[in-house]
Every structure is written in C-alpha cells, then in structure tokens.
Structure 1
Amino acid sequence: MSTSEKVLFILESNKTKYTSGEEIAGECGVSRNAIWKAIKDLREKGYCIEAVSNKGYKLTENNDIISAEGIKASLPMDYDKADIYVYDSLKSTSDKAKELAVNGASHGTVIVAATQTGGRGRKDHTFFSPEGGLYMSIVLRPDFLFSTDYKEVTSFVGNSVISAIKELTGIETYIDGINDLYVDGKKICGILLESGSEFDSGTLQWIVAGIGINFDSDINSFPEDVKERASSLFAAGKATITKNKLIARIIEKILDCQLI
C-alpha cells in the first residue's frame, strides 16, 4: 500500500474529526513531508481535504469517491474476508471478477467500478452504467455458501442488498421477479449471477454475483427507453451516505452468510 493509500485509509476512518499530520506520519511510518506530498496527491485525484493549523487534516463531507481504502474503512475493524479492487471504469465488473475467479481468486474477492462501458443484465441485456452508479461483483466459492441453487443464491444476494439499503438509508426496496430491485415501481438495481464449472466433472467452481445500483444517478441523462422505468436511490448529489459505506455493508451482508 502506497503512502497516499495509507493516508486515505486514515482519513476515511476518521471522517468526523481532524487528524494531525504528526499522528498520520506516525501511523504511516514516514516523514511529515511525505504526508504533505500524499495529501497533495490525493487532492489532485479529486479528494477535498481540509487543513487547519494545530488540528490537522479531514475529508470534507461531500467526498464520495469510491476507493478500496474508503470501503475498508467502512468495514468492521479487522474484517479480512474481502480482497477489494476498485477501478475508475471497466467494461464489466463481472467480466473482471470471472477472470480472477478462473485464476484462483479467493471467496469474497470484490471488484468495484465507478462506471462500466459494457454492463449487462440477464440474456445479455444492456445495463446502462454511468457515473453516479455503484457497480460491483463478488466472487463466491461453493464451499462457503449455504446453497448453490441459482434461485436461492440470487434471492439471498437481492435480500442482502435490500437489507443494507434499509439499514443505512431507511429506503424500502423490493424484489420484482428474481433479479431486479425496485422503489415505488421503478428499477434501482439489477443483479446477475454467473458461474463456472469443471468441464469434465461438471463440478461448480465459482459464482460471480454482479450488482448494479443507481445510487445518485442523473436519471434524466439515461436513454429514453431506460429512464421511463428507472429510478435512483438518491437524486443526483443528494445522497445521505457514501457509496463506499453502502458497498461495505453489502459486502458484510453477503460474506457473513457462509458455512462455518
């Protein structure tokens, strides 16, 4: 982890208070000058960081940049069930997760992207994935699951997202069909499960659960045929929580339900 990543994790973990440069330097094991350079680097990447003499540094409340450090800071202390990879843009988080799964990625590996250029739903339907959304995929290994039945696992993932949203926002969502989540009759989330098996034995090797949420998306910018039936958890720029916090809670909900 780079110094900038370490500093970001510290700031994300202490969003309600200022943290002194001396304290950050001590936790990172580097000089105060290195911390200044890290702060400068984070600001150049778009993070709004307040600096107050004799107090230190603090992320402003309007920061909502998805990052592995921000997600980890929102997970319980010492939560070590998830390897998290964050990208500005991918063709598809599920394509990346499947690639990693084939190459041995562990149960709980998480791929997140701020946008997707080739997001998709069932039957290869397009899933419009602009900025303002939350797009993630999780690698699940059969040995850790309570079931490998497609409908049961899909329902479980959907209910995990519903529960996470309800706990953090109070917003009531519901499943329509098996793959989509709705609020007041309009779709705010799509879920797609894909799997891989050994060719000779047919033994299930992995499942990838893809989740796409319209978080604080500008629905008016959506294609005409999509915006008629789509909605967003929050109006653009009006979110009461961060994407990192919701991603973290979804990860907890899904990965805590495993066989002991």
Structure 2
Amino acid sequence: MVAPSMTQTPPISPLSPAEARPVPSHSAVSPRLWGLVPCAGTGSRSGAAGPKQYAVLGGRAMVLHTLQALAAVERLAGIQVVVSAGDTFFESAVPPRGAPVFVASCGGATRAGSVLNGLSALLEQGAQAQDWVLVHDAARCLLTAADVDRLIDACQHDAVGGLLALKLPDTLKQEQGGRVAATVDRSDKWLAQTPQMFRIGALQTALRAAGDAVTDEASALEFVGQSPKLVEGSAQNFKVTYPQDFALAAAVLAARV
C-alpha cells in the first residue's frame, strides 16, 4: 500500500492508510488519548549519517517501528509526529495500520519546544485540553502495545498522570575527577522512559513554565509542583542513543519475528 503524497504546507498533514481507524469525535469518547512523537532531533551522539530516527533497523526506519507499536494501541485516537521544517521523510513513508498518524512540520530547537508545538498541533486536529497525550521518544523503537496499555491502565484515572520507568538495577556511583566519590543509595532511584502520559492542557502549562531546559515531560510537571506516577516499564524499551545500541535493537527486533 502506498502512503498518500504529502507536502509540509499546510504544516499538518495526514499519514494514514485506508485501514486506519477513524478519529473518534469528542462527543464519542471523553477524554480521548493521543500519541505524540517528537521527531526533530539530529541524533548527534548516535554516529549515524543522518537523524538516527530514520536509520534502518530490521528493514525499516527506526521511527516506523515506533509508530507501529503506538498505532496498535486501540485506545489511541491518533498519533501526532513532529518533524523539522523541510523534513521530507514522511512524504514517502508507508504508514502503520491502526490509529491515524498526522505529521506537523513544527519541530523546535529543543525537545521541549517540539513537544509544546506538537501539543498545539494536536489541538488543531481537534484534541481537547482535558484529553490525555502520551509523549514517546522516536528512538525507543522497541516499545510494545502492551507497554502502552499498562501505562494507560495505571494513569487514566490518576489526577496527574505518569510515565514508564525502571528501578535502577546497578550500583550507583557519584563521580569526582574521574574517581568514585561516593556510592549512592539506589533504593529510590528510577530510570525514566517513555511514553509519558499527561493531560494536554496541564502539560502545555507545565512546559511553558519550565522552559526549554527540561529533558522530559515529567520534569516539567515536577517543576510546577506535581508528582507523576511511576509505572514499571521494560528493559527492552531503551532509547537507541549510541552506536552500539543499534546492533542490540536490531537483535531484539529479529528475535520478535
């Protein structure tokens, strides 16, 4: 199946096959749940020739594995992808079956900026401030629909929302001058993952207050005094960041076939 031809003008374009589920109206389901994938990063640490989210793993671009997992979640009304201006990757990409995917050329200079712009794009698509948004890293391509469902089940009735995370498994050291300065208690330490699930309006407010320095959505909610819920994730849901991560991700994908 060939994806519909897209341009980046207007800035929001559909990327949905004929089999995509229709977007439910606001009156049909309230609050709805949406996915948001910031996809405007350069991947400078990965060693890849271009943006790492477009590197090929298992025969397809990394971000398409990511979108396939999200699109398989039946409770998602749609998925908003945020790319940089001039990014043409999705003009020829074959979209996943399931939840409709929309692409907006409104990537910011930082992750926080891209997410904030993506939230505005979602509202233009018909989302409401009280709807939930699940923000997910494009480079966490080993996500499964079961991971997402577990997060939704844990957070959909929570006052704040939450995130997938892992308890720190290793001994944690504090460094000074290249040497161990102290061993840090790990009993209350978690590694943050994505998706991170919050109300659209609340996340907008938090990101505007926290500014571009925050590296994830939970940090923005913390900045405004909220305490997001920790939901245990999966060790396979790691972020492909460094050159050695690509081989590991490819091996996991191959094992799933």
Q: TM-score, normalised by structure 2?
A: 0.31
Larger Rg: 1
- Greater length-normalized contact order (CA 8 Å, ≥ 6 residues apart): 2
Q: TM-score, normalised by structure 1?
A: 0.31
